[in-house]
Amino acid sequence: MSTKIKKVAIIGAGFTGRQIAARTALYDYKVNLYDMSKEVLEDVKVFLKKFFRPKNKREKYQNINITHDFSEALMDVDLIIECVPEDVELKKRVFAQIDELAPAHAIIGTNSSSYPVSKIEDAVTRKDKVLNIHFYPPIPLRPMVDIMKGTETSEGTFETGKNWIKSIECTPLVVKKEIMGFVFNRIWRAIKCEVLHMWANGNADVETIDTAWKIFTGMNMGPFELMDGVGLDVAYNVEMSYYKESGDPRDKPPEKFKEKVEKGELGLKSGQGFYKWK
* Binding footprint of ligand NAD on the chain (CB under 6 A): 11-17, 35-37, 40, 83-86, 94, 111-113, 134-135, 137, 230-231, 234
Output the smallest distance, CB 113 to ligand NAD, in A: 3
Task: Cite the beta strand spans of the chain per DSSP E.
Answer: 7-11, 30-34, 64-67, 79-82, 107-110, 130-135, 144-149, 171-174
- Give the residue at shortest CB distance from ligand NAD: 14
Nearest to ligand NAD of 3, 113 (CB atom): 113
Rg over alpha carbons for the chain, rounded to the nearest Å, is 19
Nearest to ligand NAD of 34, 199 (CB atom): 34
Output the smallest distance, CB 33 to ligand NAD, in A: 10
Residue 160 CB neighbour total at 10 angstroms? 21
Residues 6+ apart with CB under 8 A from 194: none
Output the smallest distance, CB 35 to ligand NAD, in A: 5
Distance CA 112, CA 194 (A): 22
Output the smallest distance, CB 233 to ligand NAD, in A: 8
CB 169 within 8 A of CB 143: yes
Orientation of helix 232-246 relative to helix 184-200, angle to 10°: 100
Output the smallest distance, CB 73 to ligand NAD, in A: 9
Nearest to ligand NAD of 86, 225 (CB atom): 86
CB 152 within 8 A of CB 121: yes
Distance CA 31, CA 64 (A): 5
Nearest to ligand NAD of 35, 210 (CB atom): 35
Output the smallest distance, CB 93 to ligand NAD, in A: 7
Nearest to ligand NAD of 173, 204 (CB atom): 173
Nearest to ligand NAD of 83, 168 (CB atom): 83
